Structure 1
Amino acid sequence: MINAIIVDDEYMVGETLKNHIQNHITGITILSVINDVKNAKSTILKLAPDLVFLDIQMPGLNGFELLRSFEEINFDVIFTTAYTTYAIEAFKVHAFDYLLKPITIDELKTTVNRYYLKRRTYSDKQHITSFLEKIEHLSSKTERITIPEIGALTIIQTSDIICLKSDYGYTDVYCKDGSKITSSKPLKHFCEILKNNTKFCEIGKSNIVNLNYVTKYYNEGTIILENTIKISVPRRSRKTFLATLQQ
């Protein structure tokens, strides 16, 4: 019997994965589902699982940073991610198992069976450090992003996003096709995910803009984006924004 922990900041995603495992996978017991990544390390050390299903894209402390915080990694890892093919090659080369979101039962079965065949513990710090350096470099080129909604996940190309706007604890994601997706996550969640993507610029505390869609900037601090979207740049941020825009 393999004891496992799920670490995912999205409550419904973690619970769905737990239910899939309990209902369709034999030989794995879920000890805990952790939604607050700040508690993940202490819980893992306390419960000493054999396996951790680890989300990568989490605000505050992502999955890679969590792994780096361990002096010794004496548990196996199956990553859960929305990364596309270019990054998946890094998983394969370094022999890590992964689940692509949204996670299906068939994909879960395939991944767990693959894990059973080559089960090992990645306590070699050099091996996992090499992997993290590779995958974090690739993550700066993130092509897709997972947008948590209430009761659903939408995965879209980052290149299709015009801007993201804060909306009282939620986030409105405006897309080039004219659609708007309202996420159940606050804007800071997306700031963390997109922080290494040079195409996106955070403006104040309320907006993230895809610089590729800026069509005009007025000196009084108004940005015009495609689809006639307007955003005001706070006075304190204008100089930095203009420097970024002209790079």
Structure 2
Amino acid sequence: MNILIVEDERIIAERLARFVKAELGTARHHLDMVPSLAAARARTHTQPWSLVFLDLNLKGGDGFDLLKDAVAASFHTVVVSAYTDRAFEAFQYGVFDFIGKPFDQARIAKTLNAFTTNQRGQADTRVLAVKKGRELILVPLEEIRFIKAANNYSELHLVSGAEELHNKPLEQLERLLPKAWLRVHKSYIVPKHRIRAWQSVASGTQVELDDGERIPVSRRRYLKFKQAWLT
């Protein structure tokens, strides 16, 4: 697991690194630290990071400038900031967790445990950031009909009929979505509020969306889907 800490206060960065190393123990990992937005942008392109701990106030720079890029990337982001009033805004962009300063080892342990055991983050995501060349666009969840796996990426199928490609694979993207977004198949996630009906067909089970689109429900996920649908 590759972990990057973006923090301009050396003492805090080293404390965070110490807690992370203590929790990971002998698990194989690589950890690095950078003090600025410029350095973070450079490093996030050097290797495949798993998790980035990001401060929001970096030598006068606004960490949200990097956050918008980060949440569109393949890695997950944990914001670490004294500005707890911005937690709601951060979660809307799709961060995995928000840790307020000051923090202790128990709080870092909680985040790492959730991450390493493949739990969902503290999701209150409202938009998904998508990179298109040098442009970054924010796609509101309400504009998405369903999400489909596309190898190491995810296709966002929009109400407009357009499709946008997200850099996170479906497994990672699922961890950032609200619980009302249901994984009905290894290749599909659908928002519960768009499901009009579900039915058995010759090939198994499928859901029908409010626009008539039909999505398969895998046998493996059928019982979990049914329980979510009925609650």
TM-score range, shorter chain: 0.5 to 0.7
Say whether residues 1:234 and 2:215 are aligned partners: no
- 8 Å CA contact 1:160, 1:175 repeated in 2: yes
Cα shift at 1:233: 0.7
Quick one: distance in 1 between partners of 2:86 and 2:105?
A: 10
Greater fraction strand: 2
- 8 Å CA contact 1:215, 1:225 repeated in 2: yes
Structure 1 segment 35-54 matched on structure 2, within 5 A: 42-44=31-33, 49-51=34-36, 53=40
Mark the CA change 1:50 to 1:183 in structure 2 (over 3 Å): closer, same or farther: closer
Quick one: distance in 2 between partners of 1:219 and 1:213?
A: 18
Quick one: distance in 2 between partners of 1:7 and 1:209?
A: 32
Task: Supply the AA of the counterpart residue of 1:246.
Answer: L
The TM-score normalised by the length of structure 2 is 0.53
Q: Percent identity of the aligned residues?
A: 15
Structure 1 segment 200-211 matched on structure 2, within 5 A: 200-211=181-192
Greater fraction helix: 1
The TM-score normalised by the length of structure 1 is 0.50
- 8 Å CA contact 1:149, 1:184 repeated in 2: no
Matched residue, 1:172: 155
Quick one: distance in 2 between partners of 1:236 and 1:123?
A: 41
Structure 1 segment 204-219 matched on structure 2, within 5 A: 204-219=185-200
Cα shift at 1:148: 3.2
Cα shift at 1:163: 0.7
Q: Between Structure 1 and Structure 2, how many residues are aligned?
A: 165
Structure 1 segment 140-219 matched on structure 2, within 5 A: 140-194=123-177, 197-219=178-200
Mark the CA change 1:231 to 1:200 in structure 2 (over 3 Å): closer, same or farther: same
Per-residue CA shift, 1:106-148, capped at 9, x if unaligned?
A: xxxxxxxxxxxxxxxx984349959x99xxxx95221111123
Q: What root-mean-square deviation, in Å, do the aligned CA atoms of Structure 1 and Structure 2 show?
A: 4.8
Task: Supply the AA of the counterpart residue of 1:43.
Answer: D
Task: Supply the AA of the counterpart residue of 1:204.
Answer: H
Cα shift at 1:167: 2.4
Task: Supply the AA of the counterpart residue of 1:168.
Answer: N
- 8 Å CA contact 1:60, 1:192 repeated in 2: no
Structure 1 segment 1-247 matched on structure 2, within 5 A: 42-44=31-33, 49-51=34-36, 53=40, 61-63=50-52, 78=63, 80-82=66-68, 92-93=83-84, 124-126=102-104, 129=107, 139-194=122-177, 197-220=178-201, 221-247=205-231
